[in-house]
Amino acid sequence: MVNKTPQVLTIAGMDSSGGAGVSADLKTFAAQGVYGANVIVALTAQNTMGVQQVSMTSPSMIHAQLKSVVDDLKISAVKSGMLGDVPTVEAVAEFLQQADFGDYILDPVMVAKGGAHLLSDEAIVAIKSSLIPLATLITPNMPEAEVLSGSNITNHEDVMQSASKIQQLGVENVLLKGGHASGKDVYDYILLADGSHFWLKSSRVDTIRTHGTGDTISAAITARLALGDDMKKAIIYAKAYVDATIREGIDVGHGHGPLNHQARVADRHFPEVLENV
Ligand SMILES: Nc1ncnc2c1ncn2[C@@H]1O[C@H](COP(=O)(O)OP(=O)(O)OP(=O)(O)O)[C@@H](O)[C@H]1O
Ligand SMILES: Cc1ncc(CO)c(N)n1
């Protein structure tokens, strides 16, 4: 039987230090037990201390990679991460409009942990007009949500309003990640397609080893959707997974170190689900 194994795709950039981007996605896919394919839109010379150089893939090569994948594999969910510039966003949008890759998880990566910009201002406009309407789920962190919604976030009420504005841009579901806020607990907010919403609360791990947390949670959601979870279950499980990868950390590099993608999810890693708050 051809293509029985669950397969997912990441469209993103390579991080030479292996902690973020495509590397984080593939490690996450493997940990969830799905097969991962990858379309590389950029190379970054990067480590745990910052991004030293970026080289973009040509749109024709992006198209060729996507075609090679669609011509042979059976992708049941796709995620995008770092997209960099307008030609890349346009190449990806054009392909996603025609290809059937199943659920599309859009992680609107804008800035790396060390502060390097991974998306041009013009490309933010292109993502809003061409990619957001195609997405099943978008997973902005707080600064990305502020840019996409055009509103400041200082409290939980602002988070909910920002997510609602982003949903109005045409995406079905919104996960607004709370890693960038301060406080002893971390709150992620989820607004689902049917208008229902909830918070995921977990205790903050006091560490700077959080390189690739955003890539990892969106990749884990992509994998869980391909395995048949509904959106709510996929997000809760993915949150438990990323929590385990941070909590059971490894010691790599001098700066924002990578996660332990081999960490196993245990009951103690599951977040508190706060409904109707
Ligand atoms: N210190 C921490 N302790 C526990 N959970 C965390 C911590 N930092 C981030 N998280 C969790 O990790 C996930 C990613 O959140 P975050 O807001 O850091 O994303 P991000 O900025 O896109 O990450 P990155 O840019 O590194 O890919 C969220 O579920 C968040 O709650
Ligand atoms: C290639 C790449 N993609 C995404 C991120 C954000 O984590 C990063 N630092 N590098």
For residue 256, the domain's CATH number is 3.40.1190.20
Total domain count, the chain: 1
Ligand 1-lining residues (CB < 6 angstroms): 20, 113, 141, 177-180, 186, 188, 202, 204-205, 207, 210-215, 217, 239, 242-243, 246
Whether 1 is covered by a domain: the verdict is: no
Give 113's Cβ-side CA count (13 Å radius): 22
Residue 131 is encoded by which pair of tokens? Answer: 């990619």
Distance 246 CA to ligand 1 centre (A): 9
Model pLDDT for residues 10-27, shown as the tens digit of each residue: 999 999 999 999 999 999
Q: Does the pLDDT of residue 276 top 80, yes or no?
A: no
- 252 part of a folded domain: yes
Domain presence at residue 117: yes
The owner of tokens 């910052």 is 50
Domain range for 216 = 7-274
* ipTM of the prediction greater than 0.90, yes or no: yes
pLDDT at 96: 97
Give the mean pLDDT of 118-136: 97
User: Is 2 within a domain?
Assistant: no
CA distances in angstroms from 41 to 93, 154, 271, listed in the order given: 13, 34, 33
At 146-192, the pLDDT tens digits run 999 999 999 999 999 999 999 999 999 999 999 999 999 999 999 99
Nearest partner of 66 among 97, 92, 27, judged by Cα = 92
C-alpha distances out from residue 274 to 136, 166, 236, 277, Å: 22, 21, 11, 6
Measured between alpha carbons, how far is 51 from 108 in angstroms, rounded to an integer?
A: 18
The whole-chain average pLDDT of the chain stands at 97
CA of 21 to the centre of ligand 2 (A): 4
The pLDDT assigned to 25 comes to 98
